[in-house]
Structure 1
């Protein structure tokens, strides 16, 4: 199976499994797990923050941050395609009682002027905006990278208006690998930020949320409330540490494979995409049913029969994601299968 459905499909390597087996462990929630403690210290320094905590998932990091920064009835501002608005099961409302105010940005990104227009007047009739959240890179934006200029301007305006800033850094390492800009520079003006280890970095589970010491102290209470406290979690943290040591620098390989796949798809009649929009490891393209004779759902069904998996979002839109477990040779094989499918 050539699995292009998501970069969460990565599996721990043999060396990562060995590191997990040998990990020193202790009670994580009592701060007695040396491997978790080492991971938190390292990630905080990596992101330029005072402290960090280890959580089972990035979605939990988002939910912890929202509950830490906001009160029930507050408003969180984000892009219309943000993960917190689409793919966290209504968590902001269910867990924190907050409203989501979305900005119709471009490929998951918006600018300071759009943010200014989205902040409601300070009337008691309106919900009070307390948090601005951005996603780097933008999943539904096709892996688009926020520019430093826009990040800095959005954060500056938010702080000027008294709002906190949060960065969903699910693929922050991909942005850094593509641009050469360090992750701490991207996160510099954000009050909280998290990074994921279970996507292109191949760890089986886990993410780290970072911010000031006061923020993390409060965030721990929310983590406890959500059931995120763990016991001998060093086994998981060891995978994350191994990923930081061995799997970050190679993300550029995934980006190269994504461009190769996008360029190949663009040459196939009935598939619609602009390869120049592929900035990292995410490829979104459309199926023209009038050319192929079937829609995106059927495309993915037939492709799966050829041992290649992609994700259909609706009748037109498909996502393919490159990662550690997909090689350049796999891309060639996948393109042959897709060309054959389109020809038939």
Structure 2
């Protein structure tokens, strides 16, 4: 790919920084399946401490941490409640059915944000005809919601509902640090509300791979066996874990720059005649609807000008800001947007 291209397709396209590469190359490693990789252990302990959870489990991807979490909290013939835009439903290739033998109850939140009022009527009563409602999954931030995010004040009543109804609560925290940056909430407060949290390191934080599943000691003990069955047991994984530690230490504070850049792009898009509307921008994702014709046609035109992005439907397009896009590159992108 040409080096002068502006890649807004995803925040997963970032390359490790020089400092991150140095940390990776100097990592102390061992066989993690034997529990001997001290850098993996340090990462798991660090993330668990940040979110006030008992233990963590390092996995290759957020899809794996989500699917392991769901399997920990469900039994075959159970039902998982989530929004219809949820990544665990739309983009994990039917993993809930394949791995856990559970069905899915889809809700329609505002930009993917669920409320107790939406959830409670969809919790099944104890009836021989119905699957057992056992788990609610939230996503923070919501990808297809244009980076919309929950505040802790929105999460707390959902947790309360799950607690009194006997359901577990799992968080797909694909961009949880973006949400925390936007809301000002404290990560340490999250542990009291969730039975499981998936924390992705390879999006806005810029690590090359990896997510950490958080939970109780009993949950992570079970999750470790499930990870092995999924083929997710890694050996000298400390080289990868070191990248996650470096990302947590160095790349969280700068997320506010990505959010600022996303708002700049949204403002530029609103000044054009080929854009019908732009979703409200809270974090680092910009989704806009084209005024007429095919979204793919507009994507092709932007690509030809050197701005890479992708469609999210026949009429909508997504741009994602990240640490590999400097202020100067954002200025170049705005020029392309305004003069398409």
TM-score range, shorter chain: over 0.9
Instruction: Tell me if the contact between 1:69 and 1:164 (Cα under 8 Å) persists in the aligned partners.
Output: yes
Give, in angstroms, the shift of residue 221 of structure 1: 1.0
Superposed, 1:116-265 pairs within 5 Å as 116-265=120-269
Corresponding residue SS for 1:36: helix
Give, in angstroms, the shift of residue 295 of structure 1: 1.8
Are residues 1:283 and 2:282 paired?
no
Are residues 1:79 and 2:78 paired?
no
Instruction: Tell me if the contact between 2:15 and 2:208 (Cα under 8 Å) persists in the aligned partners.
Output: yes
Instruction: Tell me if the contact between 2:285 and 2:321 (Cα under 8 Å) persists in the aligned partners.
Output: yes
Corresponding residue SS for 2:111: coil
| Gap runs ≥5 in structure 1 | none
Instruction: Tell me if the contact between 1:288 and 1:295 (Cα under 8 Å) persists in the aligned partners.
Output: no
Are residues 1:340 and 2:327 paired?
no
Instruction: Tell me if the contact between 1:273 and 1:285 (Cα under 8 Å) persists in the aligned partners.
Output: yes
Give, in angstroms, the shift of residue 148 of structure 1: 1.9
Are residues 1:64 and 2:68 paired?
yes
Give, in angstroms, the shift of residue 187 of structure 1: 4.1
Please give the alpha-carbon distance, in whole angstroms, between the structure 1 residues aligned to 2:316 and 2:154: 28
Corresponding residue SS for 1:15: helix
Aligned residues: 336
Instruction: Tell me if the contact between 1:167 and 1:187 (Cα under 8 Å) persists in the aligned partners.
Output: no
**How well do the aligned residues superpose, as a CA RMSD in angstroms?**
1.0
Instruction: Tell me if the contact between 2:268 and 2:338 (Cα under 8 Å) persists in the aligned partners.
Output: no
Moved over 4 A (4+): none
- Determine the structure 2 residue equivalent to 1:94: 98
Give, in angstroms, the shift of residue 314 of structure 1: 2.5
Please give the alpha-carbon distance, in whole angstroms, between the structure 1 residues aligned to 2:278 and 2:309: 18
- Determine the structure 1 residue equivalent to 2:30: 26
Please give the alpha-carbon distance, in whole angstroms, between the structure 2 residues aligned to 1:37 and 1:139: 30
Instruction: Tell me if the contact between 1:3 and 1:310 (Cα under 8 Å) persists in the aligned partners.
Output: yes
Corresponding residue SS for 1:48: coil
Please give the alpha-carbon distance, in whole angstroms, between the structure 1 residues aligned to 2:41 and 2:231: 19
Instruction: Tell me if the contact between 1:194 and 1:210 (Cα under 8 Å) persists in the aligned partners.
Output: yes
Greater mean deviation of Cα atoms: 184-193 or 27-36: 184-193
Which digits, 9 at most, give the CA deviation of each residue in 1:256-307, with x for residues without a partner? 00011101111111212346x1000011001112xxxx42101111211111
Corresponding residue SS for 1:7: coil
Q: 1:108 to 1:187 in 2, by over 3 A?
A: farther
